[in-house]
Structure 1
Amino acid sequence: MKLFRFGERGREEPGILAADGTLRSLVGVIPDIDGAALSPEALEVLRGTDTAALPPVPEGARIGPCVGGVGKLIGIGLNYSDHAEESGLPIPKEPIVFLKANTSIAGPYDEVVLPPDAKKADWEVELAFVIGTRAKHVAEADAMAHVAGYCIVNDISERAWQAEREGQWTKGKSYDGFAPMGPWLVTADEIADPGNLRMTCDVSGDRRQDGSTSTMIFGVATLVSYLSQFMTLEPGDVVTTGTPPGVGLGMRPQVWLKDGDVMRLEVAGLGHQEQAVRVAAP
């Protein structure tokens, strides 16, 4: 299934992509696409829904982030061997973990407004997974049973804030709108191998990233198990798993997002995103 959310920011409603390709509303069926809707039992009920009988989503409705009520948005850094190489950094021995503030979550087609003092804003196409059942001290062999599905996240980063100021990466990752999410939450049964998905990102028509999840250092099962040793993963939590090479940081000379740029991101089987960039006035 491909689930999504639509409507005004902060007032999104649940939807589902019908078999005929139309967007259908799940209002009255479930309250939201959130942790409560993502358990195996709840998803099985949705699979039995007659989507043809559901009302269509109003034409022109905004598509919001595909998961609501996210408790934790967790990022994994330097998780692609070829991205670590372009960054001139060693392969991590363990996953590098950071948090992105939930206020960074945005819709997949929302405008990205950069802060006026942004110096090195960067793009990152990423595969994210969404937790469906509570995970605590989970063995790697059991980890995939806790994943409800997958989506695209653009892990937008202000590199000067991330790496050139003291403290943790979180502040360079958490500005409002720095985590466009969606359009779809694609249930896990539709993604046969999350470790073999092509990923691309174009910036203003130029192909910047063209990679594959096959170069991930730590796969989805490893990440679920690893994270669950340090924190309880709750239904609706989102983990975004890192990016392939081609980010602005790795280019020579380096290239950063600027006013008027348009980012287009795609991951095989998960749809695409597109965001126009605007720099806020001082």
Structure 2
Amino acid sequence: MQPRFATFTHQGETHYGAITDQGVVELSSRFPQWPTLREVIEAQGLSQLAEATAKHKANILQSEITYRIPIPMPEKLICVGVNFPDRNEEYKDGQSALSNPSLFIRFPRSFVGHDVPLTRPPESPQLDYEGEIVIVIGKGGRRIPEATALDHIAALSLCNEGTIRDWVRHAKFNVTQGKNFDGTGSIGPWLVPYADESQIADIRLTTRVNGELRQDDRTSRMIFSFRKIINYISTFTTLVSGDMIVTGTPTGAGARFDPPIWLKPGDVMEVEAEGIGILRNGVVDETR
């Protein structure tokens, strides 16, 4: 089994460690030079964490932790929109896929960790799901060539890129509002270290709601490859260690049903990808 590194809270303190079949191997206290997984990645230290995991037994039960997003405060959280062929057709605007990806920014506070409920805000009932794969930048860079772009990936994770649908249509040119309500999305459960291109070339990505399969596609069908995404984004901004790129969702979100099916308290979503794992979240109403 590949190493799986998570950020979590245990007994009121935040740590990082390895998730194993036997439980959690707490690692942050063994590497005080790296306060979070962001610093681990910056120092190219994931292999050292893997070595430490092999040497130590699990010392915390999984049932005793609360998952957080794996990189607590990434400098950038950049999301790619409309990155699967059927997703482009959903817009019914007669346009073929464009030659460059659509992008938007999310704030870390808009995400929770694995097994933590998403929050439906009182301003709108239109909370929707979007299952996606996340790439975490290891080696930073600017104007990164497509040929070497994959060398800049440190790890993979999953995202439920929860969206307040009516709020993405409040203005003419942006979706920022509907994508950034506190706690409406999730990232996790953990980071899986990136090895080589075969690991990401044809991943099956699915989303289930209350056990019903809603989204199902493969990364080999993405309009913009991982290479293209890294190349394009790094053209206008310097990517740094720990930046997280959410790479796009397949067709099948709740907004595309007739009538739309919005998430409600009690629903359970599972985003799953081969070789990465399952990201699970419920839904609760925000209390004010």
**By the TM > 0.5 criterion, same fold?**
yes
Instruction: Please give the root-mean-square deviation of Cα atoms over the aligned residues, in Å.
Output: 2.2
Do 2:199 and 2:275's aligned partners in 1 also have CA atoms closer than 8 Å?
no
Q: Which of 161, 183, 186 in structure 2 is aligned with 1:155?
A: 161
Q: CA deviation at 1:252?
A: 2.3
Letter matched to residue 24 of structure 2? L
Give 1:44's aligned residue. 47
Do 1:4 and 1:33's aligned partners in 2 also have CA atoms closer than 8 Å?
no
Q: Distance in 1 between matches of 2:56 and 2:10?
A: 24
Q: CA deviation at 1:26?
A: 0.3
Q: Distance in 2 between matches of 1:251 and 1:9?
A: 42
Letter matched to residue 76 of structure 2? K
Distance 1:39 1:21, change over 3 A: farther
Give the alignment of 1:115-134 within 5 angstroms.
115-134=121-140
Letter matched to residue 45 of structure 1? Q
Q: CA deviation at 1:50?
A: 4.8
Letter matched to residue 67 of structure 1? I
Q: CA deviation at 1:262?
A: 1.5
Give 1:25's aligned residue. 26
Q: CA deviation at 1:35?
A: 2.6
Q: CA deviation at 1:167?
A: 4.7
Q: CA deviation at 1:45?
A: 2.4
Deviations 1:164-186 (A, max 9, x none): 43452111111111231111200
Letter matched to residue 263 of structure 1? M
**Within the alignment, does 1:76 sit opposite 2:80 as a pair?**
yes
Which structure 1 residue ranges, 5 or more long, are not aligned? Answer: none
Which structure 2 residue ranges, 5 or more long, are not aligned? Answer: none
Q: Which of 4, 8, 17 in structure 1 is aligned with 2:6?
A: 4
Distance 1:142 1:40, change over 3 A: farther
Q: Which of 60, 64, 84 in structure 1 is aligned with 2:64?
A: 60
Deviations 1:247-278 (A, max 9, x none): 11222222111232211211111111221112
TM-score normalised by length of structure 2: 0.90
Give 1:88's aligned residue. 92
Q: CA deviation at 1:67?
A: 1.8
Q: CA deviation at 1:108?
A: 1.4
Q: Distance in 1 between matches of 2:83 and 2:102?
A: 8
Q: Which moved more, 1:226-235 or 1:59-68?
A: 59-68
Percent identity (aligned): 29
Q: CA deviation at 1:132?
A: 0.7
Give the secondary-structure state (helix, strand or coil) at the position aligned to 1:48. Answer: helix
Q: CA deviation at 1:105?
A: 2.2
Distance 1:190 1:66, change over 3 A: farther
Q: CA deviation at 1:51?
A: 2.8
Give the secondary-structure state (helix, strand or coil) at the position aligned to 2:66. Answer: coil
Q: CA deviation at 1:143?
A: 0.8
Distance 1:114 1:226, change over 3 A: same
Q: Distance in 2 between matches of 1:125 and 1:6?
A: 22
TM-score normalised by length of structure 1: 0.91
Give 1:13's aligned residue. 15
Letter matched to residue 66 of structure 1? P
Q: Which of 211, 221, 225 in structure 2 is aligned with 1:205?
A: 211
Q: CA deviation at 1:106?
A: 1.1
Q: Distance in 2 between matches of 1:11 and 1:95?
A: 39
Deviations 1:2-24 (A, max 9, x none): 11112169942110134x55321
Give 2:262's aligned residue. 256
**Within the alignment, does 1:192 sit opposite 2:198 as a pair?**
yes
